[in-house]
């Protein structure tokens, strides 16, 4: 399905508003690295995360995602050197958040990592919390929605939901690293996936050398 593109899409370097959700799937290092890269490249970022994401962040990265969004905003803004107003963090029930409405949809929305539960809710259009409502908004407003789902193996229900979403124009981008570029560390593996996400939203990245690119 052809997507309506905003004028800023024609200039990949122009700053955009990117919404980002962390949910409770394994793969929190992808989400956090993506956040860091979006801030470093000057994008405006709206962040929301689920309760399960807080558990997974602690488990995988020893990272405490504060329950208070303001606290989280301060923490990441300081850690990643965000400029004033560049990063906004919202609670998952904050219906006053801009991405809750089609009048203020972000240019793109990435759910990374994305659980099978959140993916199913987006496919069903439940819009029960800000994470799934933002997906609903982005879809109806013809903006780019990228899901980074992590589970293995995948059941027929997972696959059916992904097919349904793909047919609705959603980019299903599983965090499947390639090994042909000979990664030397976990960070290299993470960066491979994050680079693919940044490519999808047209944010310049230098994390991974492109295939066929000279040294
Ligand atoms: C350490 C940990 C790892 C998990 N990994 C996954 C996963 O890779 N994929 C998945 O779909 N759910 C995973 N789950 C289960 C989800 O967190 C759980 O289904 C939760 O209800 C999802 O809620 P959310 O979609 O609102 O974040 C994991 C849970 C924990 C605690």
> Is the pLDDT assigned to residue 1 strictly greater than 80?
no
Confidence at residue 163, expressed as pLDDT on a 0 to 100 scale: 98
> Is the pLDDT assigned to residue 21 strictly greater than 50?
yes
> Is the pLDDT assigned to residue 4 strictly greater than 80?
no
Q: Which residue out of 25, 61, 122 has the highest number of ligand 1 atoms within 8 Å of its CB and is therefore the one to mutate? A: 25
Q: Does 26 sit in the ligand 1 pocket, CB within 6 Å?
A: yes
Query: What is the pLDDT confidence band of residue 14, given thresholds at 50, 70 and 90?
Result: low
> What number is the average pLDDT over the span 123-151?
98
Q: How confident is the model over 63-92, as pLDDT tens digits?
A: 999 999 999 999 999 999 999 999 999 999
Q: How confident is the model over 190-208, as pLDDT tens digits?
A: 999 999 999 999 999 989 8
More confident residue, 69 or 209: 69
pTM of this prediction? 0.94
> What number is the average pLDDT over the span 133-145?
98
Q: Does 118 sit in the ligand 1 pocket, CB within 6 Å?
A: yes
Confidence at residue 211, expressed as pLDDT on a 0 to 100 scale: 84
Helix/strand/coil (H/E/C) assignment for every residue in the chain: CCCCCCHHHHCCCCCCEEEEEECCCCCHHHHHHHHHHHHHCCCEEEEEECHHHHHHHHHHHCCCCCCCHHHHHHHHHHHHCCCCCCEEEECCCCCCCHHHCHHHCCCEEEEEEECHHHHHHHHHCCCCCHHHHHHHHHHHCCCEEEEEECCCCCCHHHHHHHHHHHHCCCEECCCCCCCCCCCCCHHHHHHHHHHHHHHHCCCCCCCCCCCCCCC
> What number is the average pLDDT over the span 12-29?
90
């Amino acid at each position: 399905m052809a997507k309506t593109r905003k004028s800023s899409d024609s200039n990949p370097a122009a700053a955009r508003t990117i919404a980002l959700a962390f949910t409770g799937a394994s793969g929190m290092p992808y989400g956090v690295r993506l956040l860091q890269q979006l801030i470093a490249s000057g994008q405006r970022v709206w962040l929301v995360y689920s309760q399960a994401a807080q558990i997974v962040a602690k488990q995988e990265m020893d990272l405490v995602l504060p329950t208070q969004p303001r606290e989280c905003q301060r923490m990441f803004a300081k850690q990643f050197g965000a400029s004033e107003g560049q990063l906004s963090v919202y609670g998952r029930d904050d219906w006053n958040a801009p991405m809750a409405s089609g009048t203020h949809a972000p240019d793109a929305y990435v759910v990374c990592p994305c659980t099978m539960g959140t993916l199913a809710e987006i496919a069903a259009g439940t819009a029960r919390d800000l994470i799934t409502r933002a997906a609903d908004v982005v879809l109806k407003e013809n903006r780019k929605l990228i899901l980074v789902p992590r589970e293995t193996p995948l059941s027929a229900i997972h696959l059916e939901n992904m097919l349904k979403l793909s047919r609705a124009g959603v980019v299903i981008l599983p965090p499947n690293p390639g090994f042909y570029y000979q990664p030397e560390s976990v960070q290299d593996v993470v960066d491979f996936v994050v680079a693919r996400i940044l490519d999808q939203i047209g944010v310049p990245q230098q994390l991974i050398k492109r295939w066929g690119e000279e040294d």
